[in-house]
Amino acid sequence: MMVWNLARLLKDRGGNFGMMTAVLLPVTLGSAGVVMDVTNAMQAKNTMQGFADAAALAAASSMSGKNITPAQAQELARSILAAQMAAYSSPNSPDDAALANKDVKDNTNVGVTESGSAGSGKTFDIVINASYNMKLNPMMNVIGFKTMKISVTGSATSSTEAKNALSMFLVVDRSGSMKDDTATINAAQPTKVKQESYQESCTVNGRRTTCTKYRDVVVDNYVTKIEALKVATQSLLDTIKTADNEVKYARLAAVSYNNVKQTSTPLAWGTTAALAYVNNLTASGNTNSGEAMQEAYESLNKPSENTAHQNKSGQSKPSKYIIFMTDGANNLSGADTKTKTACANAKTAGMEIYSVAFMAPTAGQKLLETCATNPTTHYYKAENAVQLVAAFKSIGEKAAQAATRLTN
């Protein structure tokens, strides 16, 4: 009887569609779900890969640019990646976004490798290994799959500046015309009291006559040329000081001239001595730049200057600069010839000469143009105090940029 009933069941076609549907529906739904989720997973993986690379780059750049610690870099990378993936996966659900943020953060490892030194430049390598449990669609839930793990690796490298050694000699004019006013009013003290003479009728020994008298008047207080030079020098040297905060790569000196060369400061580490020298200058005398330029060239060209850098930073070929400034024209016999010879020798030796004509006459401008390494990029014409400060600052920035090698 049992055999007969089974045979009848197999021959009976009634209800087969319903049975087959019940058997195949999960499989059909699962297949459709797989196609959808594979597509979503590929898109999510590509998106997460971009986020991981961006997070690694942000962390590496912050280590080189903001001096953050390895631990801070790790936390920064994890936070950036988690926040981006949360916003991507759950843009309309704050609760789901918070869960996704925690999921990514908990499953992200950040490796930090630091190499190099301050002198040669430090290099920071960031590697991110991260995973994310992507939610699957409801059709996949039917066959028992709720999430799919997506894993990515992101990396980035960043480096700090490598410092190059430099030696710089300031050759500045302190002749009598440097006492003259510029067209720039002193912002800190815009007015001053000045005695003014005037004529007034008076009686002298019982006779009426005209007397010269004096009274105080308030006038505009203009910056003098020598004052402007001091401010400009401060600006230039501050730029060098910032670039060489270790006082390990920059050596500076200064010499002034009027009708003769004054005693110079010797080349020394840092900016302190050169700045003090310029700040103590007073204006007097005629103009003769020949011997001052010669001393600058000879001092920079001494083998002992290279040795000093070799012993301090291990760099035996420092960049060498002469900053040549005047507000006039040489008025002593042979001064132009001596100056040009010193300039030619310096350029032959590989030194760079920046020249600044400060409210100078045509003859002075021509001499400075001749001395400059390049009349377009190394010669400045300043017609007031503001332009002089800007010129010196520009020179400082150029020297500082040349003295650093950016490797990121």
How confident is the model at residue 406, as a pLDDT?
A: 34
H or E element in which residue 195 lies: strand 191-204
Residue that is written with structure tokens 């949360």 in the block? 86
Give the CATH number for residue 297.
Answer: 3.40.50.410
**Are residues 171 and 116 both part of a single domain?**
no
The whole-number pLDDT of residue 96 equals: 84
Give the whole-angstrom CA distance, residue 59 versus residue 129: 14
Sort residue 309 into left (φ over 0), alpha (ψ -120 to 50) or beta. alpha
Same-domain check for residues 149 and 240:
no
Residue 140 and residue 202 share a domain: no
Q: Helix or strand or coil: residue 314?
A: coil
Regarding whether 336 and 239 lie in a shared domain, the answer is yes
Query: Same domain for 206 and 253?
Result: no
Which residue type sits at 234? Q
> 265 and 387 share a domain?
yes
Are residue 143 and residue 174 in the same domain, yes or no?
Answer: no
| 370 membership: H or E segment, kind and range | helix 362-371
Cα–Cα separations (whole angstroms), residue 32 to 38, 42, 143, 150: 10, 16, 12, 20
Stretches where the chain sits below pLDDT 70 are: 1-38, 117-121, 138-145, 160-163, 402-408
Count how many domains the chain has: 3
DSSP secondary structure, 119-172, as one string: TTEEEEEEEEEEEEEEEPPHHHHHTT--EEEEEEEEEEEEE-PEE--EEEEEEE
Residues 353 and 366 in one domain: yes
Secondary structure letter of residue 389 according to DSSP: H
Please check whether residues 249 and 375 belong to one and the same domain.
Answer: yes
Q: Are residues 214 and 227 in the same domain?
A: no
Three-state DSSP class for 237?
A: helix
Domain end among 175, 205, 220: 220
In this predicted structure, what is the pLDDT of residue 364?
A: 95
pLDDT at 26: 54
Domain that holds residue 307: 166-183+223-405
Q: Are residues 58 and 8 in the same domain?
A: yes
What global pTM score does this model have?
Answer: 0.60
CA distances from 389 to 281, 315, 318, 395 (A): 17, 31, 26, 10
Helices (H), 164-302: 225-243, 272-279, 290-301
If asked whether residues 278 and 148 sit together in one domain, one would say no
pLDDT attached to residue 330: 95
CA 347 to chain centre: 28
